[in-house]
Amino acid sequence: MTTADRLFARRGATVPLNEIAREAGLGVGTVYRRFPDLQALVDALFTERFTVFLHLAATAAEQPDPAGALRHYLLEAARMRAEDRALEVVLANADFTKVTTARTRDRLGRLVDGLVARAVAASAVREDFASADVYAFLYMIGAVADRTNDVAPDAWRRYAEALMVGFGLDPSPAPHPTAMTDDQLLGSWPKPSGGQD
């Protein structure tokens, strides 16, 4: 599945199973026995990812401090998204008409709803903070991480912190990365298609 992740991150979920098998050094039959089609592979990757997110949310929910619980979930989920360039492709292509996939997504949604409700009730975040803000936060951090990964791999942390403070969470006492240098910013700038410099 590591090979599929790498190819999905680079080319989206249009990579044929045959190519994934070849890149992974596996026989095509071996891959097809485990995943009858590309959708089955995507759904397996979704379940794998969301199992980790479920564990993270459940662990955060056990923290007694509502602000600390929400901050822990946001920061760790952001780290996972920053390190996983294939996650967005997996989410976009998972089959939510399947009961198991939809159930997993909904279970995570309920856990996130709980973290948000506790933080709002404790006035640990702004009163209009909502679960949708958690997902928007991860989309934004993902976009920053994808763009800066090669030139400033920890830059996303600075922007995650800025967003969390904007949500009303107290600033972290831990140091976070400084702003990118001009060279790093230029290195993250969009490149023309066709591989031109």
- State the DSSP string of 130-192: -HHHHHHHHHHHHHHHHHHTTT-TTHHHHHHHHHHHHHTPPPPSS--PPPPPHHHHHHTS---
**Pair 40, 50: CB distance under 8 Å:** no
Burial of 2 (0-12, 13-18, 19+ CB in 10 A): exposed
Q: How many CB atoms lie within 10 A of CB 8?
A: 25
- Does residue 197 have a pLDDT over 50? no
**pLDDT for residue 101:** 94
Domain spans of the chain? 39-187
CATH number among 3.30.43.10, 1.10.4080.10, 1.10.10.10, 1.10.357.10, domain 39-187: 1.10.357.10
Q: Which of 4-8, 17-21, 44-48, 119-123 has the highest mean pLDDT?
A: 119-123
**pLDDT for residue 135:** 95
- Does residue 193 have a pLDDT over 50? yes
In whole angstroms, how far apart are CA 100 and each of 9, 85, 112, 179? 24, 24, 19, 42
